[in-house]
Amino acid sequence: KTDKIYCIGCGAALQSTAPDQPGYLPAKTFQKYLQQDQLNELYCQRCFRLRHYNEVAELPLNDVDFQNLLTAIGHQRALVVYVVDIFNFSGSVIRSLRQYIGHNPVLLVGNKIDLLPSSFNKNKIKNWLQQQAKRLGLHPVAIQLISAKKLSQIDQLLATIEQYRQQQDVYVIGMTNVGKSTLINAILQARTEFKELVTTSNFPGTTLNEIRIPLAQGGDLVDTPGILDAHQMSSYLTTSDLKYIAPQTEIHPRVFQLQPQQTLFFAGLARLDFLQGPPSTFVAYVENHLYLHRTKLSHADLFYQRQIGQLLTPPHDPKSFVLQEHTLTIKQKSDVLLAGLGWVVVAAGITIKVYLPQGLKPTVRPALI
């Protein structure tokens, strides 16, 4: 068979070799339809699941496909819904997004708001997101905080989308792990008319693998595949390690009173040395079960060598794991963001050294509380 067969849902060429790539359909299913001569009504596994179980399985795209996808969005008039993980902004950044999507309006959605203790000031988070967006050259028409998982603010999000899309298509984009599939599923739950959803659009030959949800007043809501990126902590970890760092429920801040010349380990993934300053309070906002260990700075290197992969897990497989140091002088009370692990609130007037896996950088923002 030389002729390619395309999924009638997303238009991807059907294939049975790579489950994590667009158009995957198990060989058995393929055979079954082949025998029944029903090849013109085949869905890939992803569209099939969406159609029958209202369930979205996310597919990471490679860089080139992702750039093509963004470029294609830039060539039409559409509302871009850019989903970011408020707990991991650095891992949510799509580089050069502005250049790709042209003049299309952007609605910035900060997901996973349920992770933050309710004492958090939502406006401060929004302001911070606003600043981050600006640094990326984006001027979002609105910023909305949601929890896709807890289904909070989904109706408001849909209302905001309606307000800004002006009958155009809506593209939901985001890096892998920001919770985009969870959000699409939440939207499907939120509207009964979506439950009957069938993705019928056909784009033969495209590899965009979009999923289209028809909207009431014309236009579609389009789910796009995510992309993984080397700037995410997750790309340094195995899937099983990931669950140790990705918080699922509200974070309980953990407080440490540290003396200068003390070290705090974040399992084997990060380390904070308190170099100089008066004894200070450090508050860690990381996954509730992540192992935090305090020790003397003079003892820290040896401790790490001995305990990496043991007491200090994750990583479970520390072989190719190298930490890189960054010295930070803290002028005002700040949050030091640990590239996807969460952050530590640190006091003004101190010097610290932060270690993260090679290639990841800590960022500092004025403390949110």
| 112 contributes a contact to ligand GDP by CB under 6 A | yes
Query: Which pairs with CB-CB distance under 8 Å and at least 24 residues apart come from 196-205?
Result: 197/50, 197/51, 197/54, 198/9, 198/51, 199/9, 199/10, 199/47, 199/50, 199/51, 200/8, 200/9, 201/9, 201/11, 202/6, 202/8, 202/11, 203/10, 203/11, 204/6, 204/11, 205/6, 205/11, 205/13
Cβ-based nearer residue to ligand GDP, 5 or 184: 184
Cβ-based nearer residue to ligand GDP, 146 or 328: 146
| 111 contributes a contact to ligand GDP by CB under 6 A | yes
| 226 contributes a contact to ligand GDP by CB under 6 A | yes
For residue 173, the 8-state DSSP code is E
CB of 326 to ligand GDP, least distance (A): 27
Stretch of residues binding ligand GDP (CB under 6 A), selected from 109-117, 157-165, 191-199, 210-218: 109-117
* Residue 67 DSSP SS3: helix
Q: At what angle do helices 180-190 and 154-165 cross, to 10 degrees?
A: 90
Among 182, 206, 262, 263, binds ligand GDP (CB under 6 A): 182
| 271 contributes a contact to ligand GDP by CB under 6 A | no
| 92 contributes a contact to ligand GDP by CB under 6 A | no
CB of 81 to ligand GDP, least distance (A): 12
x/- site string to ligand GDP, residues 139 to 168, per CB under 6 A?
--------xxx-------------------
CB of 91 to ligand GDP, least distance (A): 11
Among 46, 180, 231, 271, binds ligand GDP (CB under 6 A): 180
| Parallel, antiparallel or unpaired: strands 142-145 and 106-111 | parallel
State the residue for tokens 């309006």.
105
| 90 contributes a contact to ligand GDP by CB under 6 A | no
**How far lies 112's CA from each of 29, 86, 299, in Å?**
36, 6, 37
- Where does this chain bind ligand GDP (CB under 6 A)? 58, 111-112, 114-115, 147-149, 174, 176-182, 226, 246, 248
